[in-house]
Structure 1
Amino acid sequence: MTAKVLQQFDSQLLLKIINTLKDPIWIIEKNGNVLWVNQAADDFFSFSELIGQNVFKMEKQGLFAPSIARLVIEKKGFISTTQITQTNVHLLVSGDYIPDENGDIQYIVTHARQLSQAINQSSELEKVESILQLYKQQIRQLILEKNQQEEDFYVGKSKAMQNISAWSQKISDIDTTILLTGETGVGKTAIAYRIHQLSSRNNKPFIHLDCGAIPETLIESELFGYKKGAFTGANVNGKLGLITAADQGILFLDEIGEFPLHLQSKLLQFLQNKTYRMIGDNLAQQADVRIIAATNVNLMERIKEGTFRKDLFYRLNILPMEIPPLRERKEDIIPLLNFYLSKFNQKYGRQHTLSKNLMDTLYNYTWDGNIRELENLIERLVITSAGPKIDIDDLPSDFPLRQSQQMLLQNVEEVSLPFYLEQIEISILIKTYNETNSTWKTAKKLGVSQSYIIRRLKKFNLRISGKELVKM
């Protein structure tokens, strides 16, 4: 419960929490300048102001030795050792770094604890490393929040998105397989990448393989690689596979439901013991790779059809995460519209806005293609719209809403205006009721009374069948 609550805290509250810890915590730039320390560090060291000091200079001045930040930079990895201060106090100090997008050192985090003869140093080292890993993950989360405008999928504010964000952080450093499920375009790739960024593997490769986009005859060589002369037409030097390329990092197997049946046993073997054989090689290779898989199909149905192995499914489905479609988290639609409008305005040097009428229309649209469909539509509108304000009339002629509108307009000459308006009203009533499943909610959404809605349903011979409103 505590971890779940912590994941919802904002950056300021998180820093306040770290500030209550009794052990000194330092956050340092790669050049040695102190960015932030908690109150315990301020109380322990006799300086009026630690922030802004340079730890390399402090080490040369004999204030403590050695500098953990310097050792982290030299090793480019986790360090835990004893440190002696100017006042002859012995500390157990650990340090590690937060990488930038290129894997280089961006920030260094150190944690200190005073040693005593009663402390079992080996168990203490494990405890300190565990604590430091938690701090690193929280700081990685703060960095992601700071750059959230670059995280396309995480613009949404719905409860579903908050739960997904919290779950992603919770499982990011649990080194086991994840299976992401959901319709096409809901953002499974973005979630996989976010888990990679939050994990301790974030400075290692993130390799994306779309299993549905590669011919079945080539996927084995792409994934596992092959030795020199393994088959006719092979590269004379052989080829390393994507598993080798992803060593120490994450391999994202997108559309895993399309993975060839005859290769599934080979993938299962790798998931079980982290070993595999290149094509044409009798020796087993090893690779430390975390697998994230994704699919938009029902794998249990594929198992019944005999096209997917049940044992592979259970090996992949250790940490399942289902991503709901955009129509089930409508609170995310307006933020996503604004995000992509701003993104493509900047990309193409435009200053377009969306009319309220268009925003309302797109809010109520079903978005069968989910975020990918929304992104593509906004990019197209920004490119093709002439005026500064984009309205419904600017929708592409092949967009479903526009096609429905055009079909009605084409029939106007053949029917009376009252009949035409009735058809529009019926369409609105059916769509709104099927979204709300309530006459009261339908009335509230359309700005009329519930009795008015009931009268219109009766007039147009609309009946509730199951959970849907239909024309009888």
Structure 2
Amino acid sequence: MEHMDQSLFEKIKAKVELYMKALENVGIAQYETSRMKKSPQTEDELLAALEVIFQSSKELNLIFEESPNSFFVCDADGECLRVNKSYEKMVKMNRHEVLGKNVADLDGDGIFRPSVCLLTLKEKRPISVLQDIRDVKRMAVTGVPVFDENGTLFRVVTNAVKLDEMNSLTRYMRGKEKCEKQKVEKKEIIAESKAMKEVLGLADVIKNTESNVLITGETGVGKGVLASYIHETSNRSVKRMVSINCGAIPENLLESELFGYESGAFTGADKKGKPGLIELSDGGTLFLDEISELPLMLQVKILHFLQTKKLTRVGGTREIPIDTRIIAASNRALELEVERGTFRSDLYYRINVIPIYIPPLRERRDDLGVITQHFLDMYMKKYNKKMKLDEETMNFIMNHDWKGNVRELENYIERLVVTNESGWVLALDQDERSQEDGRKDALNKTVEEVEKDIIIKAYERYKSSYKVAEVLGISQSTAYRRIKKYIKESQG
């Protein structure tokens, strides 16, 4: 190989040295600069330094491209230079629509409302605003100015977070804090019907065993109440029951919330590490509500835990033995989810050792009267009121279908107690009820027709439940069920 011209060598060397000087105080570049000689003296040393620079450039580009956070980068003149995949996904906009464009023009066209890049360039300091991008509304966007080694602003980086995602996370954290601060109230189970007496009888038989339990039934029938009853009447009641709503925890937090994490497992992790919810159930009961909502990746980890009764925290290697009783619940038919591929068959058979089905309220009308009186007494005491239900109201309660089950009935009784001032609760007459039910049916039918039209058009265009879910902003399992309902079942 011919030797490099000396003047060319000196020019490239000078560029490398300037590059290293610019990164002297950049913490994230320490890995890169530590692998390079500060002043290359030979061709091999210079080539080695260039190789490190090239590899680092490739590495950083790939990292930012795959980052779960959105990134939009413009230069000091406002020209868009970089956009990553997360940005495209979040704002539903192809990167080629903005690359090379000036943010002033994009702002003038009403694409960014307002342009955070423009504000940051003007103020030369970090700026956070609520921004709309085309049809995507309510995003919290932060722009950060980037200065070179001479203190000159040469780039602006913006990062966006959807407010609904922040709100769901906030609701989850508030709910979690509330659960941690409050003692679990003992729930009373009322059983006058034969069906519910059989459910309670089975619960009493298995309460002190170690067998896994799967409680199924429609939303609102009281699956969580039955799980609490099994725990509170068992020999594990001296320890806590930890309830995990698998559908309420944001998916990106599920693993660390369930399994905990070791010290330094990831940025922001507690220095001492943190036990997960499963670990906190040691000696007591672990209630996995809405277990069908677990992502497949976590189903594997849950299955391993159920088989071994050991878990490994995120970022850890040590297996921790946990002595806990497992109760799971679902309002879906899990065997159908297994057929669809959204729920692992081995996990289903592992949790379905003792199946308990709670019938809907409309199939156990013998319970209606006593449940109604129970809620009436409870809310009269809570709101310091005395009242009676008239015959017409009781007839309505006894004959209504209560599609929301016990939860709907409880809400109805609370509403009657709160809004009534006369001491008597008067029912709507039957004609008015019929009209109200008719309006509800018409509305439900209209909504279903609109939903059907949207699903059919989306599926005809994208031919994939995954893509339909992404475009419509729903889960893939929901998209699959809607496609099956409106398209595949009608064809077959």
**So what's the TM-score if we normalise by structure 1?**
0.52
- For 2:427 and 2:302, locate their aligned partners in 1 and report how far apart those are by CA, in whole Å: 49
State the alpha-carbon separation in 2 of the partners of residues 273 and 392 from structure 1: 56
Cross-structure match for 1:296 = 331
* Equivalent residue number for residue 259 of structure 1: 294
Q: Counterparts in 2 of 1:390-409, with a 5 A limit? A: 390-393=425-428, 403-404=436-437
The reply on whether 1:342 has 2:377 as its aligned counterpart is yes
* Change in CA separation of 1:206 and 1:182 when aligned onto 2, cut-off 3 Å: same
Unaligned runs of 5+ in 1: 1-149, 409-472
Q: Deviations over 1:22-80 (max 9, x none)?
A: xxxxxxxxxxxxxxxxxxxxxxxxxxxxxxxxxxxxxxxxxxxxxxxxxxxxxxxxxxx
**1:160 to 2:195 alignment:** yes
Deviation of 1:235 after TM superposition, in Å, equals 2.5
Letter aligned with residue 362 of structure 1: I
Q: 1:192 aligns with which of 221, 224, 227?
A: 227
Query: Residues of 2 paired with 1:212 and 1:393: CA distance?
Result: 37
Paired letter, 2:371: L
Counterpart CA distance in 2 for 1:407 and 1:316 is 38
Is the Cα–Cα contact under 8 Å of residues 225 and 241 in structure 1 kept in the other structure?
yes
- In the aligned structure 2, how far is the partner of 1:248 from the partner of 1:164? 25
Contact 1:225 1:242 in 2 (8 A): yes
Asked if residue 214 in structure 1 is aligned to residue 249 in structure 2, the reply is yes
Aligned to 2:124: none
Change (3 A) 1:384 1:212: same
| Partner SS, residue 243 of structure 1 | helix
Deviations 1:76-122 (A, max 9, x none): xxxxxxxxxxxxxxxxxxxxxxxxxxxxxxxxxxxxxxxxxxxxxxx
Cα separation, 2, equivalents of 1:154 and 1:401? 32
Distance 1:394 1:373, change over 3 A: farther
**Aligned partners of 2:187 and 2:228 also within 8 Å:** no
Question: In structure 1, what is the Cα distance between the partners aligned to 2:272 and 2:311?
Answer: 19
Indicate the SS of the match to 1:155.
coil
Matched, 1:224 2:259: yes
Shift of 1:273: 1.1
Deviation of 1:391 (Å): 1.4
Distance 1:336 1:364 in 2: 14
Q: Is the 8 A contact 1:250 1:291 kept in 2?
A: yes
Aligned-residue offset at 1:192: 0.5
Match of 1:143 in 2: none
Q: 1:168 to 1:382 in 2, by over 3 A?
A: same
Provide the residue aligned with 1:320 in structure 2: 355
- Which is further off, 152-161 or 256-265? 152-161
Query: Is residue 369 from structure 1 mapped to residue 404 from structure 2 by the alignment?
Result: yes
Structure-2 change in CA distance of 1:281 and 1:270 (3 Å): same
1:140-151 alignment, distance < 5 Å:
none
1: CA distance, partners of 2:225 / 2:260? 26
The answer to whether the aligner puts 1:381 opposite 2:416 as a matched pair is yes
Shift of 1:214: 0.7
Deviation of residue 386 (structure 1)?
Answer: 2.2
Query: Quick one: structure 1 residues 302 and 406, their matched pair in 2 at CA, closer, same or farther if it must change by over 3 Å?
Result: closer
1:182 aligns with 2:223: no
User: Alpha carbons of 1:405 and 1:306: their partners in 2 closer, same or farther (altered >3 Å)?
Assistant: closer
Distance 2:429 2:231 in 1: 39
Deviation at 1:405, TM superposition (A): 7.3
* Contact 2:187–2:229, Cα closer than 8 Å, also in 1: no
SS of the counterpart of 1:276? strand
Corresponding residue number in structure 2 for 1:329: 364
Deviation string, structure 1 residues 162-217 (Cα, Å, up to 9, x no partner): 11111111000111100000000001111101111121101111111000111111
1:256-287 CA-to-partner distances (Å, cap 9, x unmatched) read 01011111111011111101110000111110
1:406–1:318 distance in 2 versus 1, CA, 3 Å: closer
Residues 330 and 265 (structure 1 numbering): CA distance in 2 closer, same or farther, change over 3 Å?
same
Q: Quick one: distance in 1 between partners of 2:225 and 2:337? A: 25
Shift in CA distance, 366/152, structure 1 to aligned 2, threshold 3 Å: farther
Q: Secondary structure at the match of 2:428?
A: helix
Tell me what 1:351 maps to: 386
Q: Do residues 247 (structure 1) and 282 (structure 2) align?
A: yes
The 3-state SS of whatever aligns with 1:239 is: coil
Residues 74-85 of structure 1: pairs in structure 2 closer than 5 A = none
Gaps of 5+ in 2: 1-184, 442-492
Change (3 A) 1:297 1:407: closer
Give me the identity figure in percent: 44
| Residues 394 and 202 of structure 1, relative CA distance in 2, 3 Å threshold | farther
Q: Which runs of 4+ in 1 moved over 3 A?
A: 150-153, 405-408
Q: Compute the RMSD of aligned alpha carbons.
A: 2.1
Whether the 8 Å contact between 1:186 and 1:323 is mirrored in structure 2 is: yes
User: For the residues of structure 2 that align with 1:384 and 1:260, how far apart are their CA atoms?
Assistant: 42
**Could you tell me whether the CA contact under 8 Å between 1:177 and 1:290 is conserved in 2?**
yes
Q: Paired residue for 1:99?
A: none
AA aligned to 2:436 is Q
Q: Partners in 1 of 2:415 and 2:429 — Cα distance? A: 10
What's the offset of the Cα at 1:393?
3.4
2-structure distance, mates of 1:346, 1:370: 23
Decide whether the 8 Å contact of 1:156 with 1:333 is kept in 2.
no
The residue type equivalent to 2:437 in the other structure is S
Q: How has the CA–CA distance of structure 1 residues 332 and 224 changed in structure 2, closer, same or farther, with 3 Å as cutoff? A: same
| Distance change in 2, residues 1:221/1:162 (3 Å) | same
1:226-250 alpha-carbon deviations (Å, 9 max, x no partner): 0111112222332110111100000
**Mapped partners of 1:273, 1:187: distance in 2:** 30
User: Counterparts of 1:206 and 1:154 in 2: how far apart (Å)?
Assistant: 17
Q: 1:369 to 1:264 in 2, by over 3 A?
A: same
Q: Aligned residue pairs: how many?
A: 256
